[in-house]
Structure 1
Amino acid sequence: MHHHKNIVLIGMPGAGKSTVGVILAKSLGMQFIDTDILIQERAGKMLQEILDLDGPDAFKRVEEETILSLHPRNAVIATGGSVVCSEAAMAHLKSAGAVVYLEIAYGEMEKRLRNITTRGILLLPGQSLRGMYDRRVPLYERYADLTVACSGEDLESVVGNVIEALRRVRDPTRPG
């Protein structure tokens, strides 16, 4: 399907991209890349600090630059929730591998994001969590090669479901 065999995880803040990504990479013998960590390294500050001190536009710019600088091979890539706001970043990621949307319901996201102020979540000025959710869902759906529902699932099940979904895409003749 994709010659580089990367797996790109997209989804809402709190969907479990980083946690699922680490376990997935271990299970499949791949390397793991967390773009939020790369953004922090590149900017020399925490995601929340970039948002607070430099603003949402600067954050989006650093996020896009960070992703465009990636040329991974055989990696599981966990992205920040706002990556789908950049067409350039998503085109780059889609060309690098299979994009898997870890889908969670709004209520589940709200529950998981108990402490939103320190998570580095890109909310536009005056935007509510609900507004952000509603705006991003169609973007995740548009860019996803595969969608895996994660609401009410434990991490191991999500990882298993992702692996199974990828297998089905790579080999549609397999029963599943």
Structure 2
Amino acid sequence: MTARRNNLVLIGMPGSGKSTVGVLLAKALAFGFVDTDLLIQSDQGRTLQDIVDQDGYLALRPIEEQILCRLTGQRQVISTGGSAVYSDAAMTHLRSLGVVVFLDIRLTTVRKRLGDYSLRGISKRPDQTLEALFRERHRLYSRAAEIVVSGDGRNQDEVCQAVLAALPATFNQGARE
């Protein structure tokens, strides 16, 4: 693994554990942690939900792409927003930085974890159901991922351990360079 790809990039649906598991992974690997949703909010001076409510769901995507394409650094766990996979440019850049891991959960798990998802700043068409969004994104996550780890039936520590176990043997070596 080259020094350029010594980051760990987490993708998946809202509620899949990207932020929670990401922090655990960062601790286990002695990495930094970056939550790109927080970077977007800081850059824009407002919440994701405000962006979606005020400017429409499509307004979030170019902002997210810009933030993701500006990411640099080494030895970081990068938790992306659920809509990161809509940008080919962003995903190409993220793959150049690190190993992309899809935290995969079933739709029933998404529903259970999100509750009222109308307050989560989810970038979706106003007429789009959660089921349709899930199907659309699942294909994109699966295509973008180098590693897929199921979060169903596992707590956050178990998901963290499953991700660590799924990493290529060369990752920890490359991560220390």
> Which runs of no fewer than 5 residues in structure 1 stay unpaired?
172-176
| Aligned residue pair count | 171
Q: Which residue type is aligned with residue 149 of structure 2?
A: V
Moved over 2 A (4+): 1-4, 167-171
TM-score for both structures, normalised by structure 2 = 0.93
Q: Is the 8 A contact 1:10 1:80 kept in 2?
A: yes
Mapped to 2, the partners of 1:76 and 1:106 lie a distance apart of 25
Mapped to 1, the partners of 2:94 and 2:83 lie a distance apart of 13
**Residue in structure 1 matched with residue 3 of structure 2 by the alignment:** 3
Matches within 5 A, 1:32-51: 32-51=33-52
Mapped to 1, the partners of 2:83 and 2:48 lie a distance apart of 12
Change (3 A) 1:168 1:106: farther
Mapped to 1, the partners of 2:56 and 2:67 lie a distance apart of 17
TM-score for both structures, normalised by structure 1 = 0.93
> Which runs of no fewer than 5 residues in structure 2 stay unpaired?
173-177
Mapped to 1, the partners of 2:58 and 2:124 lie a distance apart of 11
Considering Cα pairs closer than 8 Å and 6+ residues apart, tell me whether 1 or 2 has the greater RCO. 2
Task: Tell me how far 1:55 sits from its aligned partner.
Answer: 1.2
Secondary structure in 2 aligned to 1:111? helix
Secondary structure in 2 aligned to 1:81? coil
**Superimposed CA distance per residue, residues 8-57 of structure 1 (whole angstroms, 9 cap, x where no aligned partner):** 00001100000000110011100000000000001100000000001122
Task: Tell me how far 1:117 sits from its aligned partner.
Answer: 1.6
**Residue in structure 1 matched with residue 91 of structure 2 by the alignment:** 90
Mapped to 1, the partners of 2:146 and 2:125 lie a distance apart of 27
RMSD of equivalent CA atoms: 1.3
